[in-house]
C-alpha cells in the first residue's frame, strides 16, 4: 500500500509512541506536568471527535460543549452514587452524551449550513442556562457538582470501608491522578485515534465526505443522508462525552461553564488550528492550544522582568508591559491573533503548513494522488 510518505499502520504506531512518550519529550519543553498532560489527551479526544463531524461532513457544530458538560456531570454522579471507579464513569459519560447528541442531532440536522450551526448553538446554550438555573438539583448550579462525604456510593460501600477524607477516583485501585491518570487518558486517546482512523478510511467515512462535497449528488444516488449524518453527530458527541468524563475523572468536579459556547468555540479552534479533516491535526491543535495556554498564562510581569533583565532597565520597563499584554491573563489576545493568522494564511491548519513544507523540501517531485482503497484523505487539506 502506497500512502505517500506513511502507511496507516506506521501512522498509528507513530501516534501512539508520540503520545505515550509525551512525558519524555515535553520535559525539555517545560510541559511535563501530569495535569497538563492529562488535558492534552482529553482535549485531543474532544477535538478528534469534533473532527469526525466537522472534518468529514463539513457541518459546523457550535454546541459540542454541551456533550462535554453532560459527560462530566454523568461521571461525577457515577462517583457519587455508585463507585469511584473510572470505568462506569466513562460508560455513563459516553452514554448520556450519546443520548443528548441523538436528540440534538435529530432536530438540528433538519437544517444545514449556518442554520445548523445556530440550532446546535441554541441547544447548547439552553443546556448551559438550564444547568445554571432549574437543573440545580442535578448540577449544583454555580458551585458545580462535587463529591461529598455523604454520597451513597452503593458499590464502593459494599467493598471498602469509607475513609475519613473524600475518596479519590481510581481504576480498580489505581489512583487516577498524576501520571497514572495521564496514561489512562492517553490509552483512551490512542484508541479514539484508531477508531477515527478506521472511520476516515471506511466506506462510511467516504460517504460522509461525499455528503460534505455534494449532498445532493449523494441523495440522488440513493443515500438517505439523515441516519448517516446523525450517526456521525452522535459518534462525535460520544467522543465529547468521553472527554467530559475524563475531565471529571482526573478532577472530580463538574461545572456548567464547561457547557458554555466559548468551550464549543475552543474545540472548533483546536480543530481548525491543527487542520480540519486531517487525522492528526485536531490532536496537534488541542495540544498546542493547551500547551501555550499553560505556558503563556503562567507568565506575569515579575517573570517577564526576569526574562528581560539582560536589557537595560529603561528598555525592559517599556518592553515588559507590552509583552505582558500577550501573556498571563492576556493569553487570549495571543490566541485570538494566532487564530486569525491561521485562518488567513493557512486555512488548512498546521498540518497543511507542514505538508507544504514537506513538499517544498522534497522539491518539485510530482505528488501522485492515490484513490480508492488507498485513499488518504488527510493528505488533502480541508477546504
Partner 1 sequence: MSDLVLHLDNIQKSFGGLSALSDVNLHVEEGTTHAIIGPNGAGKSTLLNVCIGRLKPDSGHVTFKGQELTGREPHEIAQMGVARVFQTPEIFPEMTLLENVMLPAFSKRDGAFKLNAYSGLAQQGDIRDEAEHILEDVGLADQMLQEAGSLSRGDKRRLELGMCLILRPRLLLLDEPTAGMSRHDTNRTIDLLKKIKSRGMTKVIIEHDMHVVFSLADKVSVLARGEIIAGGKPEDVRENPKVKEAYLGGAH
Partner 2 sequence: MDAVLLQILNGLDKGAAYALIALGLTLVFGTLGIVNFAHGALFMLGAFCAVTFNKLMLISTKVEDTSVTLFKAFKEKPYLEIWFPEWGPLLIQYSVPLSILLAIPFMILVGYVMERGLIRHFYKRPHAEQILVTFGLAIVIQEIIKAVFGANPIPQNAPDLLSGSAAIGTWLGLSDALVYPYWRLVYLGFSVVIIFAVFAFLQFTTYGMVVRAGMRDRETVGLLGINIQKRFTIVFAIATVVAGLAGVMYTPILPPDYHMGMDFLVLSFVVVVVGGMGSLGGAVSAGFLLGIVQSFASMTIVKEFLPGIDQIIIYLVAVVILLVLPRGLMGRAGVMDD
Q: Which does 231 bind (CB under 5 to 8 A by kind): partner 1, partner 2, none?
A: partner 1
Residues that bind partner 2 (CB under 8 A): 58, 60, 107, 110-115, 117-119, 121-123, 125-126, 129-130, 132-135, 215, 261-262, 265, 268-269, 272, 325, 330, 332-333, 335-340, 343-344, 347, 383
DSSP string, 295-315: HHHH--HHHHHHHGGGS-HHH
Phi first, then psi, for residue 231 (nearest 5°) are -60, -45
Question: For residue 303, with 0-12 CB atoms within 10 Å meaning exposed, 13-18 middle and 19 or more buried, which class applies?
Answer: middle
Nearest-approach distance from CB 380 to partner 1, in angstroms: 7
Helix (H/G/I), strand (E/B), else coil: 254: strand
Closest distance of CB 379 from partner 1, Å:
12
Q: Pick one of partner 1, partner 2, none as the site partner of residue 112 (Cβ within 5 to 8 A by kind).
A: partner 2
Q: Looking at beta carbons only, is 10 or 301 nearer to partner 1?
A: 10
| 175 strand-pairing partners | 170
72: Cα separation from own chain's centroid? 14
CB of 197 to partner 2, least distance (A): 24
Partner that binds at residue 291, options partner 1, partner 2, none, CB closer than 5 to 8 Å by kind: none
Q: Which residues bind partner 1 (CB under 8 A)?
A: 1, 198-199, 201-207, 209-210, 213-214, 216-225, 227-228, 231, 368-375, 380, 383
Q: Which does 367 bind (CB under 5 to 8 A by kind): partner 1, partner 2, none?
A: none
Q: Which is nearer to partner 2, 85 or 139 (CB)?
A: 139
Place of cell 462525535: 236
Q: Is residue 327 helix, strand or coil?
A: coil
- The site partner of 306 among partner 1, partner 2, none (C-beta below 5 to 8 Å per kind) is none
Among partner 1, partner 2, none, what binds residue 207 when CB lies within 5 to 8 Å by partner kind?
partner 1
Sorted by sequence, the CB contacts under 8 Å of residue 72 that are 6+ apart come out as 93, 145, 244, 245, 247, 248, 254, 258
Nearer of residues 220 and 310 to partner 1, judged by Cβ? 220
The C-alpha cell at 34 is: 501530569
- Name the binder of 93 from partner 2, partner 1, none, CB < 5-8 A by kind: none
Q: How far is the CB of 33 from partner 2 (least distance, A)?
A: 25
C-beta closer to partner 2: residue 178 or 377: 377
Is the CB of 22 or the CB of 131 nearer to partner 2?
131
Rounded to a whole number of angstroms, the minimum distance from the CB of residue 217 to partner 2 is 12
User: Which one, 294 or 375, has the nearer CB to partner 1?
Assistant: 375
The phi, psi pair for 171, rounded to 5°, reads: -120, 95
Q: Cell numbers of 324, please?
A: 505582558
> What distance in Å separates the CA atoms of residue 232 and residue 207, rounded to the nearest whole number?
11
Q: For residues 162 and 340, which CB has a smaller minimum distance to partner 2 in the complex?
A: 340
Q: What letter does residue 85 receive in the DSSP assignment?
A: B
Residues forming a β-bridge with 170: 85, 175
What is the closest distance, in whole angstroms, from the C-beta atom of residue 375 to partner 1 in the complex?
Answer: 6
β pairing state of 253-254 and 174-175: unpaired
371 Cβ contact list (under 8 Å, min separation 6): none
* Gap between the Cα atoms of 75 and 62, Å rounded: 23
Rounded least distance, CB 64 to partner 2, Å: 15
Q: Which option in partner 2, partner 1, none does residue 237 bind, with CB closer than 5 to 8 A by kind? A: none
- SS3 at position 357: helix
Q: How far is the CB of 32 from partner 2 (least distance, A)?
A: 29
CB count in 10 Å sphere of residue 261: 18
| The entry of partner 2, partner 1, none that residue 221 binds, CB within 5 to 8 Å by partner kind | partner 1
Amino acid at each position: 500500500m502506497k500512502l505517500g510518505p506513511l502507511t496507516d499502520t506506521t501512522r498509528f504506531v507513530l501516534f501512539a509512541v508520540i503520545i505515550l512518550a509525551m512525558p519524555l519529550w515535553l520535559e525539555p519543553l517545560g510541559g511535563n506536568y501530569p495535569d497538563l498532560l492529562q488535558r492534552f489527551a482529553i482535549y485531543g479526544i474532544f477535538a478528534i471527535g469534533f473532527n469526525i463531524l466537522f472534518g468529514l461532513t463539513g457541518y459546523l457544530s457550535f454546541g459540542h460543549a454541551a456533550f462535554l458538560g453532560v459527560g462530566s456531570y454523568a461521571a461525577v454522579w457515577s462517583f457519587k452514587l455508585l463507585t469511584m471507579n473510572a470505568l462506569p464513569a466513562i460508560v455513563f459519560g459516553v452514554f448520556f452524551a450519546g443520548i443528548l447528541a441523538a436528540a440534538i442531532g435529530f432536530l438540528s440536522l433538519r437544517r444545514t449550513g449556518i442554520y445548523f450551526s445556530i440550532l446546535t448553538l441554541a441547544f447548547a446554550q439552553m443546556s448551559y442556562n438550564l444547568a445554571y438555573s432549574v437543573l440545580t438539583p442535578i448540577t449544583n448550579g454555580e458551585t458545580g457538582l462535587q463529591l461529598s462525604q455523604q454520597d451513597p456510593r452503593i458499590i464502593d460501600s459494599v467493598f471498602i470501608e469509607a475513609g475519613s477524607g473524600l475518596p479519590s477516583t481510581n481504576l480498580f485501585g489505581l489512583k487516577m491522578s498524576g501520571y497514572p491518570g495521564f496514561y489512562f487518558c492517553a490509552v483512551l486517546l490512542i484508541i479514539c485515534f484508531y477508531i477515527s482512523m478506521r472511520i476516515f478510511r471506511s466506506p462510511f467515512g467516504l460517504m460522509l465526505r461525499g455528503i460534505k462535497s455534494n449532498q445532493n449528488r449523494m441523495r440522488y444516488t440513493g443515500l438517505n443522508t439523515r441516519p448517516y449524518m446523525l450517526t456521525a453527530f452522535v459518534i462525535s458527541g460520544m467522543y465529547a462525552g468521553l472527554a467530559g468524563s475524563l475531565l471529571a475523572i482526573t478532577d472530580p468536579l463538574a461545572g456548567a461553564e464547561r457547557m458554555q459556547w466559548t468551550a464549543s468555540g475552543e474545540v472548533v479552534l483546536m480543530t481548525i488550528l491543527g487542520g480540519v479533516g486531517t487525522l492528526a491535526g485536531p490532536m496537534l491543535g488541542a495540544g498546542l492550544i493547551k500547551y501555550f495556554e499553560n505556558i503563556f498564562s503562567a507568565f506575569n510581569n515579575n517573570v517577564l522582568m526576569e526574562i528581560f533583565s539582560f536589557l537595560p532597565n529603561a528598555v525592559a520597563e517599556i518592553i515588559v508591559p507590552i509583552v505582558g499584554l500577550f501573556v498571563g491573563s492576556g493569553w487570549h489576545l495571543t490566541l485570538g491573533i494566532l487564530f486569525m493568522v491561521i485562518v488567513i494564511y493557512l486555512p488548512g491548519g498546521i498540518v497543511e503548513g507542514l505538508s507544504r513544507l514537506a513538499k517544498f523540501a522534497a522539491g518539485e517531485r510530482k505528488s501522485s494522488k492515490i484513490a480508492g482503497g488507498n485513499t488518504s484523505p488527510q493528505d488533502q487539506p480541508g477546504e
